[in-house]
Amino acid sequence: MATIGILSLQGGFAAHQRILSALGHDTLLIKTPEQLLDIEGLVLPGGESSTQLKLIHHAKLFAPLIDYCQSERPVFGTCAGLILLARDVRSPQQESLGQLDVVVERNAWGRQRQSFEARSEKMRWPMLFIRAPKIVSTGEHVEWVDTYQHEPVIVRQGNIFGATFHPELTDDMSIHQMIFGCG
């Protein structure tokens, strides 16, 4: 049984924990660099990316998270987690881990009041967009796993996946299963 870590400094980590547990995984709520040594996969959840970034620095997790992303183990960032993984963040500019070759624009699918539900175009996954970022460009090695309105909403570069929406807030576990398998 694989243990999947979920960054738990701020944000929606409990919903990811629920899905991963239902898939048969043990989970570990990550708050220290040392805990990254004990996991076979990692989730960077939604929340407020600038707050998460401050807490990542405070917990001395910035460099260890970069190292983890480069370890070939699966990493999945949703919404704010995607922002943290991106090469470049806009609206406003923000530091990031720079491990996924995408440019994201914060809140570009709309502010809180414009939150909405939809289905992806290829896999018909249910999607919940809450203050969601848009992926405005991707590098040549980034695969568009699925789209909405002909724009990428879930992407993959090697072992790293990023979603602009919140699959953990739906009842569909297929994205987590695709990335982490069953425990």
Active site residue 79: yes
Is 166 in the active site? yes
Three-class secondary structure of residue 72 per DSSP: coil
Kindly name the residue from 16, 25, 166, 176 that is annotated as catalytic: 166
**Is the per-residue pLDDT at 178 higher than 90?**
yes
What is the pLDDT, as a whole number, of residue 101? 98
Distance CA 161, CA 130 (A): 19
Predicted TM-score (pTM) of this structure: 0.96
What is the amino acid identity at position 121?
E
- The whole-angstrom separation of Cα 132 and Cα 165 is 6
pLDDT at 1 over 70: no
Whether 168 is catalytic: yes
Q: What are phi and psi of 167, to 5 degrees?
A: -65, -25
Return the pLDDT at 113. 75
Residue whose C-alpha is closest to residue 5's, from 25, 113, 23: 25
Count of beta carbons in the 10 Å neighbourhood of residue 107: 15
**Count of all residues that appear for the chain in the document:** 183
pLDDT digits (tens, 9 = 90+) for 38-69: 999 999 999 999 999 999 999 999 999 999 99
In the CATH scheme, what architecture does the domain 3-180 have? 3-Layer(aba) Sandwich (3.40)
Evaluate whether 143 touches 156 at the Cβ level (below 8 Å). yes
- For residues 146 and 142, what is the distance between their CA atoms, to the nearest angstrom? 12
pLDDT at site 152: 98
Binned at pLDDT 50, 70 and 90, residue 157 comes out as very high
Q: What is the pLDDT of residues 159-177, one digit of tens each?
A: 999 999 999 999 999 999 9
**Of 25, 79, 105, 176, which residue is the catalytic one?**
79
From the number of C-beta atoms within 10 Å of its C-beta (0-12, 13-18, 19+), residue 141 rates as: exposed
- pLDDT tens string 86-103: 999 999 999 999 999 999
Half-sphere exposure in the Cβ direction for 20 (13 Å, CA): 24
* Per-domain residue ranges of the chain: 3-180
Whether the bond between 92 and the residue before it is cis, its omega within 30 degrees of 0, is yes
Q: What mean pLDDT is reported for the chain?
A: 96
Torsional sign, CA 18, 154, 55, 2: positive
Choice among 16, 25, 69, 168 that is catalytic: 168
